Structure formats: structure tokens, C-alpha cells
Amino acid sequence: MPKPTVEPAADIPLDAKLRPTQARAQDTYEVVLATAGELLIESGFEQLTTNAICKRAGLTPPALYRYFPNKYAILKELGDRLMRLQDEAVFAWMEAGGLEGETASERVAKTAALLTDVIDMTRRFPGGAAIGRALRAVPMLQQLRFASRDMVAGQFGEVLTARFPSVSPLRIRTATRMMVELTYAATEMAVEEPGQDARALAEEIGRLFDCYFETFDAVL
């Protein structure tokens, strides 16, 4: 049977202790993160230790602890970076009119292009799939995911409110959160299953969204 996850105490610090400003320090900081990503892929979060990171990276424990108090802070930094990349891609897509289009095929193609990019980005990110699993498994870090998704849903909400002024704020909030959750669920599905055709999956999500919003402001 798999071992139960050992949840850390709630008062364990999650923030980096120091942000490097000099080139050499920045190199050390990045080596720690890259090495942690590699080890996450190989053995998962439960087996990840700061000693293993130091051994693989050729660092002394004091060099690592200068920046990170524990492995949870390292994961938080990795998670922040990955979600920031994902969120920035979504915001840029919205700014460029990603939700707009004269025809269904155009709108579906735009959504599919975004989701394919996010999937590819997550697959390329060091330890991307393992980071996602760890953020879902460690309750004290789940707030990172919730905050990111709430922020993206808020941006979608502004666009939908302008497009559908007759729809209630509650329905807008529900729809945007559903939209974000479905998008990230599809991303996780594609990343966790490398054999998945990312483009085909992304196009199907695009069709679902387009069909849904075709009748979004209909009176039920």
C-alpha cells in the first residue's frame, strides 16, 4: 500500500529566505530549482529532500538553506513560476482578443491555440507534471492553485460581463471558474498522459466553450 502523505506543520515557512541579486548567487538559486524539478520527475515530492538536492547539485546544505528554509518553499517557488507562465499566456491571449471571432471555427481555433501552448509550456517546464501533482497533494500549498485560478477567472469575468451585460454576476462567476477549472483539468490530463494528442484535446475544449457561450445569455 502507498504510504500516506505526511502533512507538514502549518507554521512551516513557505517563502524563500533571500532573493539573490548577484550573478553567482542567482546561479545557485536557479541550480537548486532546476535540480529539484529533476528529482521531482524521478522520485516524486514525498521522496524529495534538501539533502538529495544538494547531493545532485553539488551544493552544501548551508548554500541551499541560505535561500530556502525547506523543500516546501522550493516547491512553492517552482509552482509560482509555472502558474505565472500559464497565467501570463492566458492574459496575453485575452488581451489579443482570444475570446472573440466571427465564426465558430475561428473561436475554437483561438481557444485550441491557447490551450495547446499552455500544455506545451507545462510539459517543457522542469518537473511540470510532478509540480502539479505535488501542489494538489499538499494541502498547505493548494492555496497557490486557488489564488491563480481565482485571478484568471476574475479576468475572464470582466470580459464576459462586458459581452453579456444581462447575465447575473453570480452566473458569470460560476461560468468563469468552471471555464478555468476545465482548462486546467485538460492541461493536467495532457501533461500526465504524454500520449494524449494535445491539439485534439484543446480543440475539443474549444468546441465545448463555444457551444456553451452561444446560448449563455438565454433565459432559462
Residues 6+ apart with CB under 8 A from 149: 177, 180, 181, 184
Q: What percentage of the chain exceeds 70 in pLDDT?
A: 91
CATH of domain 79-217: 1.10.357
138 contact partners, CB below 8 Å, separation of at least 6: 5, 7, 8, 45, 72, 75
Lowest mean pLDDT among 35-44, 58-67, 129-138: 129-138
pLDDT exceeds 90 at position 218: no
HEC secondary structure over 185-212: HHHHHHHHCCCCCHHHHHHHHHHHHHHH
pLDDT at residue 220, as a whole number: 52
Mean pLDDT of the chain: 87
Residue 7: predicted pLDDT: 52
CA distance 157 to 153: 6
Q: Report DSSP state, residue 139.
A: G
Higher per-residue pLDDT: 7 or 68: 68
Rounded Cα distance between 24 and 158, Å, is 43
Domain ranges of the chain: 79-217
3-state helix, strand and coil shares in percent for the chain, rounded to the nearest 5? 70, 0, 30
For residue range 53-81, what is the model confidence (pLDDT) as tens digits? 999 999 999 999 999 999 999 999 999 99
pLDDT of the residue at 5 = 47
Examine the pLDDT at 115 and tell me if it is beyond 90: yes
- C-alpha grid cell for residue 143? 492555496
CB 32 within 8 A of CB 23: no
Lowest mean pLDDT among 32-41, 49-58, 188-197: 188-197
Backbone angles phi, psi at 111, to 5 degrees: -65, -40
Nearest to residue 190, comparing CAs of 91, 110, 118?
118
In tens, the pLDDT along 76-113 reads 999 999 999 999 999 999 999 988 889 999 999 999 99
DSSP secondary structure letters along 140-165: GGHHHHHHHHHHHHHHHHHHHHHH-T
Average pLDDT over every residue of 136-158: 87
> In 4-70, where does DSSP find H-type helix?
23-43, 50-57, 61-65
Q: At what angle do helices 198-214 and 169-192 cross, to 10 degrees?
A: 170
pLDDT band at 1 (very low <50, low <70, confident <90, very high): very low
Q: pLDDT band for 13, please (50, 70, 90 cuts).
A: low
- Residue 10 has a pLDDT of 55
